[in-house]
Structures are given as structure tokens and as C-alpha cells.
């Protein structure tokens, strides 16, 4: 995976969002199908639907992290985006509220290039280092692994402690 920061109309580090990209051998339709079903690759703590425009889902790691998402873009085979909503629930990652998680898919050789951007997740946020490490982890051992035919390791209630140790912890899983 290639990770870099993406300028959002400015070259100052505080306005650079987290971006990463990787290629997989899977066809673009399958990549889109799997990416838009985060319970398959991100974690069993996903509740709700993410299969159509306007769908809503939650990422809820009890006692650790909570965020609600709405599917705000759904263009099969090309792009999907989830906007993080304010919920007021306990353990909400406030820094994420209003940010946008976006996938872009393009054909690449015999497979698909995936670009992932968490727009608004910038180095000026306290959680940036931990969140970017967590995204790297989930995208690599979850989404990329699943699409490359490897055993995907989405977060489960039984693996929380191991994942925290793997990505380094400030007490939260992102």
C-alpha cells in the first residue's frame, strides 16, 4: 500500500487528508461490492447497511470508539463515500464528525486500483497518527487481503486487544 497526504486546496500540513492506494487482482465490480460491505473487512462491530445511497451504519467498538456513517455517494464500480454523522453517543470519535471516507476504483492491468481517502482526517487532529495507522491496518489485513484471496482479518470482539497492540494504542481503536 502506498500512503500519502493529499492537499485540499492548500499545502499546509494541517489541511492534508489521509490517503492511501493499492492494487488488487480482483475485478472492479467485486472490489466495489466488498468495499461497500465493511463488515466483511473492517469489523464485526459494523451495524446497519452501506449498500445504497442514503444507507446508514455504525462502527461501535463498545467502550472504545463509536461513529455513525451515511452513504453519501454510491456510484457502482467507480466511487462510494460515507459521511461521518454526529450522534452524541458515548465514545463518539468527535474529530471524525463531518469528515468523509471515500473509495475510488479504477481499472489497473488485470485488476483494480483502490484509492482510499479519509477527507478531514488531517495531521492537525489529535487522532491522526493512531487513525492513519488503524486505517493502514484495516485496509491491508482486511480489504486488500480479502480481495487478493487471502484470509481477511476484520476486527472481532475477540481480537480487539491484539489489534490495539499491533497498531499502537492511545486507548482507542480507530
Does residue 171 form part of some domain?
no
Does residue 118 form part of some domain?
yes
Identify the domain containing residue 138 by its residue range: 2-165
Does residue 83 form part of some domain?
yes
With cut-offs at 50, 70 and 90, classify the pLDDT of residue 2: low
Yes or no: say if 151 and 45 are a contact pair by the CB < 8 Å rule: no
What is the C-alpha separation between 135 and 165, in angstroms, rounded?
Answer: 15
> What would the pLDDT profile of 13-26 be if each residue is shown by its tens digit?
446 899 999 999 99
Backbone angles phi, psi at 67, to 5 degrees: -150, 145
Q: What is the CATH number of the domain that holds 137?
A: 3.30.530.20
Does residue 172 form part of some domain?
no
Does residue 9 surpass a pLDDT of 50?
Answer: no
C-alpha dist (Å) from residue 23 to 87, 109, 148: 34, 9, 9
Q: How many CA atoms lie within 13 A of 45 on its CB side?
A: 22
What is the C-alpha separation between 155 and 138, in angstroms, rounded?
Answer: 8
Does residue 123 form part of some domain?
yes
Q: Which residue in 118, 134, 119, 61 sits closest to 92, CA to CA?
A: 61
| Beta bridge partner(s), residue 98 | none
> What would the pLDDT profile of 28-58 be if each residue is shown by its tens digit?
999 999 999 999 999 999 999 999 999 999 9
Torsion of CA 14, 17, 18, 20, to 10 degrees: -140
How many domains in the chain? 1
Does residue 174 form part of some domain?
no
Does residue 142 form part of some domain?
yes
What is the C-alpha separation between 64 and 145, in angstroms, rounded?
Answer: 25
Greatest CA separation for the chain: 45
Find cell 491491508 and name the residue. 140
Q: Which residue in 97, 94, 91 sits closest to 65, CA to CA?
A: 91
Does residue 173 form part of some domain?
no
What is the pTM assigned to this prediction?
0.87
Amino acid at each position: 500500500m502506498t500512503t500519502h497526504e493529499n492537499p485540499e486546496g492548500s499545502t499546509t500540513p494541517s489541511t492534508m487528508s489521509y490517503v492511501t492506494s493499492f492494487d488488487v487482482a480482483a475485478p472492479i465490480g467485486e472490489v466495489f461490492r466488498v468495499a461497500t460491505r465493511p463488515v466483511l473487512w473492517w469489523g464485526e462491530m459494523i451495524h446497519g447497511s452501506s449498500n445504497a445511497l442514503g444507507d446508514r451504519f455504525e462502527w461501535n467498538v463498545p467502550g472504545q470508539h463509536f461513529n455513525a456513517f451515511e452513504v453519501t455517494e454510491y456510484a457502482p464500480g467507480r466511487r462510494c463515500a460515507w459521511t461521518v454523522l454526529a450522534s452524541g453517543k458515548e465514545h463518539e470519535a468527535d474529530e471524525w464528525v463531518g469528515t468523509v471516507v471515500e473509495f475510488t476504483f479504477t481499472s489497473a492491468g488485470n485488476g483494480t486500483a483502490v484509492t482510499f481517502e479519509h477527507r478531514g482526517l488531517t495531521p492537525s487532529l489529535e487522532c491522526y497518527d493512531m487513525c492513519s495507522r488503524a486505517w493502514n491496518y484495516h485496509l491491508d489485513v482486511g480489504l486488500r487481503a480479502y480481495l487478493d484471496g487471502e484470509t481477511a482479518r476484520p476486527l472481532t470482539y475477540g481480537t480487539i486487544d491484539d489489534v490495539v497492540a499491533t497498531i499502537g494504542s492511545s486507548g482507542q481503536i480507530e
